[in-house]
Structure 1
Amino acid sequence: MTINPTRRAALAAPLLLGAAACSQEIGERPLRGADTHAAGYPTVQAVDYFGELLSQRTDGRLRLRNYPGGQLGGEGDTLEITMFGGLDVNRVNLAPLNVIEPTTFVPALPFLFSTTDHMRRSLDGEPGRAILETLRPHGLIGLCFYDSGQRSFYNRVRPVRTPEDLRGMKIRVQPSDLYVAMVSALGANPTPIPFGEVYQALVQGVVDGAENNMPSYDDTRHHEVARYYTATGHVMAPEAFVMSRRTWDRLTPADRDLVMECANESVPYMREIWDAREASARQNVIDAGCELIEDVDVEPFRALMAPVWERFIVSDLQQRLVRDIQAME
């Protein structure tokens, strides 16, 4: 990944701090982590739990100081800092990883996973480990995947039951070529804008709708202005928990095993919290009077995704991983 010159100044201070921290031996300082989600979000709780396990099993020699809520910048920025060793661990969405490693497009494919269980088995298994391993040449060690729920469409205009109902709508998407292509294939107009600006964009009519998981729909209060939620579950892309390879290389083999062990144990912990949060968010949305369309036939949506898959799944490795995941359904 090449750093945009306009962002060098913003990155300079954290990188300098990171360089100073890296001059210390592992254990002399806490490991430093970042997450753009707010404190209390399931991924933040999972990373904190990882840190607690690590501290317990090393009698405090290895410990973590996590910075949630985007305190250290957006995911693209903190990912670059992690690659350079200025941060030790980071929880990131797949979108910034798509930029540096095409294999990470695989678990973000629309309608790849049939159910949450299918997604979890695939990412806990060999396909998931193979995808995480592709991050190593980019200065990152993939530790594990966390859930990010089933992404679905919501809007302020009308109920959506078919792709035709989406046609012409301005739908906010992440700044990702894959998401832009997906929404375009459905006949809507993809509009990449920062996540924090979506509520106001919905209020002002800059966009007609967006797509996200149910907890995010609830937490952001988007349901106040976009009251039609269609449970397409079109993407079940996970979020990744990664470590800087520079930090990893300075750990002893025993500590590397321990880091991986603690990361893996944080996954079921996160999922338990996530499942409870999804259930409570769904009830909150119903109580708010939103129209929840859960009996949607997703096959017409899925049928439009063939050109998207063809565009982003081009390498032999990508194609093999897709076949392996489909075989686990």
Structure 2
Amino acid sequence: MTDRRRFLAGLAGVCAASALPVSRADDGMRVLTATDVHVKDYPTVQAVQWIGEQLERRTDGRLRLRLYHAGQLGRESEAIDMARFGAIDITRVYSGALNNAFPLTQALCLPYVFDSVAHLRRALDGDVGAQVLQGFQARGLVGLAIYDSGPRCFYNIKHPIVEPGDLHGLKIRVPMSDIFIRMLRLFGANPTPLPLGEVFSGMETHMIDGAENNIRSFQSSRHFEAARYWSHSDHSYAPDVLLMSQRSLESLAPRDRTLVIELARESVQVMRGLWAHQEEAARRTVMESGVRSNECDIAAFRAAAQPLLEHYRRDPAIDRLHRRIRELA
């Protein structure tokens, strides 16, 4: 908590003085600061740690990275602002949290736009991913990389979800994203935006009935201890994005800028390798604990989500990205 207060106070100072990040040493050594809301052993956290290890090794210790995990410096919305103003250097955030400020990310979060992880990766590794990353430059950020994070499914404390009608009246946590709020309403649920860190207590106190996320987050957040029903809706493959303060990147020497960008791109494969192993281990853990798993009527969910797709595709930029994504299916 002390670290968080210190950095939030630093953010106010940066905004007032328009100063460069303070993580610079007089002897030429630079310590970059990174944040993530996930726990220490989560694949995205470990991938960014790998970037830090490579930076230190390849610059003989001149460039280093200090990573604050498990939301030590606040929520993702706070991390985005801190990066924009240069109070922190790098942050990993869920793409749903970026939808309003960076509209191109909406194309990655729409329901049933991707058919599989392989389909998602074809899009992220090609021109679709490149266009989305370029879109961050308009607001003081640099898109370094996109980490995929598997299909998102529903889980709850009451009963199996097979078709949209089973969500009727349930209070389901969603991220702070208009797409997810509108999608849950179309499914008949009562969407409840909450930070990830408040979901467990929300289910325990019955403030909410469930949530939606990938299996690794379901396990690492220990939500499976409260929600005993997991339903394979696969309604979204919305990925994570690794962002850097444009101010921080431009303050580096040209060769160091290139190195940071190269390592960030390389970290995607590191993250995917970790993800494959941990996703399967997470699935075993939650199922062995007695969580009940069921398949869903995907056709019914697709049909219910269709008005949402039509709404967002009225934007020509989103429609172009959507068409390109579907071409890669």
TM-score, normalization by structure 2: 0.91
Distance 1:23 1:215, change over 3 A: closer
Number of corresponding residues: 321
Partner of 2:251: 250
Alignment of 1:1-329 (within 5 A): 11-16=8-13, 19=20, 21=22, 27-293=28-294, 295-329=295-329
The amino acid across from 2:138 in the alignment is P
Q: Partners in 1 of 2:289 and 2:241 — Cα distance?
A: 32
**Per-residue deviation, 1:23:** 7.2
Instruction: For structure 2, list consecutive stretches of 5 or more residues without a partner in the other structure.
Output: none
Q: Partners in 2 of 1:111 and 1:155 — Cα distance?
A: 21
CA offset digits 1:37-61 (Å, max 9, x no partner):
1212111100010111122222222
Q: Partners in 2 of 1:254 and 1:302 — Cα distance?
A: 47
Q: 3-state SS of the aligned residue for 2:318?
A: helix
Partner of 1:5: none
Q: Are the equivalent residues in 2 in contact too, given 1:154–1:211 (CA < 8 A)? A: yes
Q: Partners in 2 of 1:181 and 1:46 — Cα distance?
A: 32
Q: Give the stretch that moved more between structures: 157-166 or 218-227.
A: 218-227
Q: Partners in 1 of 2:163 and 2:74 — Cα distance?
A: 38
CA RMSD of superposed structures (Å): 2.1
Q: Are the equivalent residues in 2 in contact too, given 1:26–1:62 (CA < 8 A)? A: no
Q: Partners in 1 of 2:243 and 2:219 — Cα distance?
A: 27
Q: Partners in 2 of 1:50 and 1:10 — Cα distance?
A: 22
Q: 3-state SS of the aligned residue for 2:63?
A: coil
Q: Partners in 1 of 2:267 and 2:23 — Cα distance?
A: 25
Q: Give the stretch that moved more between structures: 66-75 or 216-225.
A: 216-225
Q: Give the stretch that moved more between structures: 148-157 or 181-190.
A: 148-157
Instruction: For structure 1, list consecutive stretches of 5 or more residues without a partner in the other structure.
Output: 1-7
Distance 1:170 1:258, change over 3 A: same
CA offset digits 1:158-178 (Å, max 9, x no partner):
111111111221111112211
Q: Are the equivalent residues in 1 in contact too, given 2:97–2:175 (CA < 8 A)? A: no
Distance 1:85 1:314, change over 3 A: farther
Q: Partners in 2 of 1:25 and 1:303 — Cα distance?
A: 60
TM-score, normalization by structure 1: 0.91
Q: Partners in 1 of 2:21 and 2:231 — Cα distance?
A: 49
Q: Partners in 2 of 1:114 and 1:27 — Cα distance?
A: 48
Q: Give the stretch that moved more between structures: 136-145 or 208-217.
A: 208-217
**Per-residue deviation, 1:188:** 1.1
Q: Are the equivalent residues in 1 in contact too, given 2:230–2:292 (CA < 8 A)? A: yes
